[in-house]
A and B are shown apart, each in its own frame.
Chain A
Amino acid sequence: MLIPVVIGVTLITFTIAYVIPADPARAWAGQKAPPEVVEQIREKYHLNDPLYVQYYYYISGLVRGDWGYSHSEHRPVLDCLMDYFPATFELTIWAMAIAIPVGIYLGVVSAVKRNKIPDHLSRIFALSGVSMPIFWLGLLLILIFYTYLGWFPASGRGITPSHTYTGLYILDSILSLDFQSLASDIWHIILPAVTLSYATLAVMTRMTRSSMLEVLRLDYIKTARAKGLPDKIVIYRHALRNALIPTLTVAGLAFAGLLGGAVLTETIFSWPGMGRYAYHAISTLDFPAIMGVTFLMAVIFVIANLIVDIMYAYLDPRIKLGE
């Protein structure tokens, strides 16, 4: 399942990196690189050979961990990504942790109170979320909560925990019982996580609403009500459990928005993750870095969707894994 999709991903990244640029060697070496370096790269990646040969070297490079050289950081791309990945991972996890429960709850309320005031409000809130430029939202939050109110910090991840085991600061702070850094790290992640979660939250709300509306019309809901069950049980135990199944697919897709949004959010909040790395890479034309981030994000997205497939089988007894 995973392997063919990742091969597909490499086909596209290969095309972007080797076929689209007018002079791939120049693009990979960087605009300021001296001609010898460009020539060296041309040799190393066999850029004068036919494309399928280049693809072979590209793939074997990826497998061996040679993802190119990031000239903005003067070290291999993979090293940079390893450093930056935990920050992005932490941010997206927290954004998800906000978006999924809140989004589902608002979607349920919206569906149950269809065409009434709560529905209108939550629809407007959700439509705003999918329409909001995430970088603008981040800036507004900084303006309000940092510049004017001074409640939250506007940049960085906070104090580094005394021991780093995972690179996830909040988790590491707890593990090393460093409460000073824990407070600081939570403090720092709130604004970026809220910013990043909004769009996903909105998508979850909309999807939950529409699948709830679909489910609420079905006969087994009538049955549940005919059993005399209270509305709460009918809605959450009987309707929502079924409505979650299609919603889950969207949660997987929404994860893509989260990864894209991370690039913008990290830029705004100077969050030292892969997104900010990509932003710096763009401004210094560090092409290997951009391709590295692109490939890794695609792989993360593919894995996220795999997890969704597994959860699917858990939620829906009609689906058996491997069928």
Chain B
Amino acid sequence: MSDVLLKVEDLHTYFYTYEGVVKAVDGVSFDIRKGEIFGLVGETGCGKSVTALSIIGLIDEPGRIVSGKIIYKGKNLLELSEEERRKIRGKEISMIFQEPMTALNPVYTIGDQIVELLLLHEEGIANIKRAPKELKEEKKKKAIEMLKLVRMPDPERTIDSYPHELSGGMRQRAMISMMLATKPSLLIADEPTTALDVTVQAQILNILLDMKEKLGISILLITHDLSVIAEVTDRVGVMYAGNIVEIADTYALFDNPRHPYTVGLLQAIPSVTEKKEELKYIRGSVPNLIYPPSGCRFHPRCDYMMPICKKEKPKLVEIEPGHYVACHLFGGE
């Protein structure tokens, strides 16, 4: 298993709020291999974003990583000091966010924001104002190269633009080029296309695929959109209420979903080829994560509920090579 880049083991991230302890991530394990796009899919509030923020180390008060391991290239990130983690952030593990409109600082040019990152990780200069002019020029050239790589139109001009002068899709490109400028090994993309128009979405996804090929990076792609998953990911983890319920190769998951929740999700996608009488949906709603259901968290909404589901939390078991499911329907054998 030397091709594993990042391994998340039994991660628990809780939020200590007025209403109680929100168990946003409650025992999540998965791994990301070198050079693959791993998708994490689930409904809003299932803990996918919190998982991502835990990996990059940006969990804020009142949240806290309670237990678990995040092993990156053999090191447990959770045992590192804040200073050591900071040096990994942006250099080895980068992250892009959902809203390209607000994720770039409005008062600095695109170029400044990319150059800042390059100076920080390549030269160890945190304050861009302290950098010598020639060095800044050099980094700026590199930044233009990066913009070209993400097929930014007119990169020489864009580099001196402010974010508000660009469209949403261009901003997301700028964002990707910035976060990949240091050639990290892992890019976390949190709903990178959700806020964009459908046509632009496809472009951005293509760029991500392209980057994976050209730079050999791994990508953790977080989305609630199964069509995005189907388009670009190599493997998928399905999350439900703070747990991972199924992990499989993308093809296997769509072809042969095993967990009732995954089955429900897939059936809920409208299809053009098949005429359905009515759209299927999963009854009930996302559970409260302060008082999650006992046993399997999906049991109140599950059509195949058995007595054991209420009592015992199912473990993630490998039912076929590379296909893991956490469900009592498959646990027995």
Interface residues of A (CB under 8 A from B): 218-220, 222-230, 232-233, 237-238, 241-242, 315-318
B86 touches A317 (CB 8 A): no
* CB contact between A317 and one of B88, B102, B106, B175 (< 8 Å): that residue: B106
Within 8 Å CB of A242, what residues of B?
105-107
A226 touches B89 (CB 8 A): yes
Within 8 Å CB of A224, what residues of B?
105
The contact size tier of chain B is 20 to 34
Residue of A nearest to B127 (CB): A233
Within 8 Å CB of A222, what residues of B?
58, 97, 103
B102 touches A218 (CB 8 A): yes
Interface residues of B (CB under 8 A from A): 56, 58, 86-91, 94-95, 97-99, 102-107, 116-117, 120-121, 126-128, 162, 164, 175, 178-179
B126 touches A227 (CB 8 A): no
* CB contact between A227 and one of B90, B107, B127 (< 8 Å): that residue: B90
* CB contact between A229 and one of B102, B126, B162 (< 8 Å): that residue: B126
Nearest chain B CB to A82's CB is how many angstroms away? 41
Within 8 Å CB of B121, what residues of A?
228
Within 8 Å CB of B105, what residues of A?
220, 223-224, 238, 241-242
Within 8 Å CB of A220, what residues of B?
102-106
* CB contact between B94 and one of A226, A232, A238, A241 (< 8 Å): that residue: A226
* CB contact between B95 and one of A226, A232, A241 (< 8 Å): that residue: A226
Q: A225-B58, A229-B120 are in contact. Are A219 and B103 (CB under 8 A)?
A: yes
Within 8 Å CB of A228, what residues of B?
86-91, 117, 120-121
Alpha-carbon distance between A226 and B87 when the two chains are bound, in angstroms: 10
Alpha-carbon distance between A296 and B55 when the two chains are bound, in angstroms: 60
Within 8 Å CB of B87, what residues of A?
228
Within 8 Å CB of B88, what residues of A?
228
Alpha-carbon distance between A238 and B102 when the two chains are bound, in angstroms: 13
B56 touches A315 (CB 8 A): no
Within 8 Å CB of A232, what residues of B?
126
* CB contact between B164 and one of A219, A237, A317 (< 8 Å): that residue: A317
B126 touches A219 (CB 8 A): no
Residue of B nearest to A242 (CB): B107
A219 touches B102 (CB 8 A): yes
Alpha-carbon distance between A96 and B126 when the two chains are bound, in angstroms: 31
Q: What are 7 A-B contacts with C-beta separation under 8 Å? A: A222-B103, A226-B179, A227-B94, A228-B87, A228-B121, A237-B128, A241-B107
B106 touches A225 (CB 8 A): no
Within 8 Å CB of A238, what residues of B?
105
Alpha-carbon distance between A237 and B130 when the two chains are bound, in angstroms: 13
B89 touches A225 (CB 8 A): yes
Residue of B nearest to A232 (CB): B126
A318 touches B94 (CB 8 A): no
Within 8 Å CB of B103, what residues of A?
219-220, 222-223
Alpha-carbon distance between A149 and B325 when the two chains are bound, in angstroms: 79
Alpha-carbon distance between A230 and B119 when the two chains are bound, in angstroms: 13
Alpha-carbon distance between A317 and B179 when the two chains are bound, in angstroms: 23
Alpha-carbon distance between A228 and B57 when the two chains are bound, in angstroms: 10
Within 8 Å CB of B94, what residues of A?
226-227
Nearest chain A CB to B82's CB is how many angstroms away? 9
Alpha-carbon distance between A230 and B86 when the two chains are bound, in angstroms: 7
A317 touches B58 (CB 8 A): no
Nearest chain A CB to B117's CB is how many angstroms away? 5
Residue of B nearest to A245 (CB): B107
Within 8 Å CB of B102, what residues of A?
218-220
Within 8 Å CB of A227, what residues of B?
89-90, 94, 116-117, 120, 178-179
B56 touches A226 (CB 8 A): yes
**Most chain B Cβ neighbours within 10 Å, of A218, A223, A232, A241:** A223
Within 8 Å CB of A317, what residues of B?
106-107, 162, 164
Nearest chain B CB to A215's CB is how many angstroms away? 10
Alpha-carbon distance between A316 and B179 when the two chains are bound, in angstroms: 24
Alpha-carbon distance between A318 and B128 when the two chains are bound, in angstroms: 22
A219 touches B97 (CB 8 A): yes
Residue of B nearest to A233 (CB): B126
Within 8 Å CB of A237, what residues of B?
127-128
A223 touches B106 (CB 8 A): no
Alpha-carbon distance between A232 and B90 when the two chains are bound, in angstroms: 16
A226 touches B58 (CB 8 A): yes
Alpha-carbon distance between A224 and B91 when the two chains are bound, in angstroms: 13
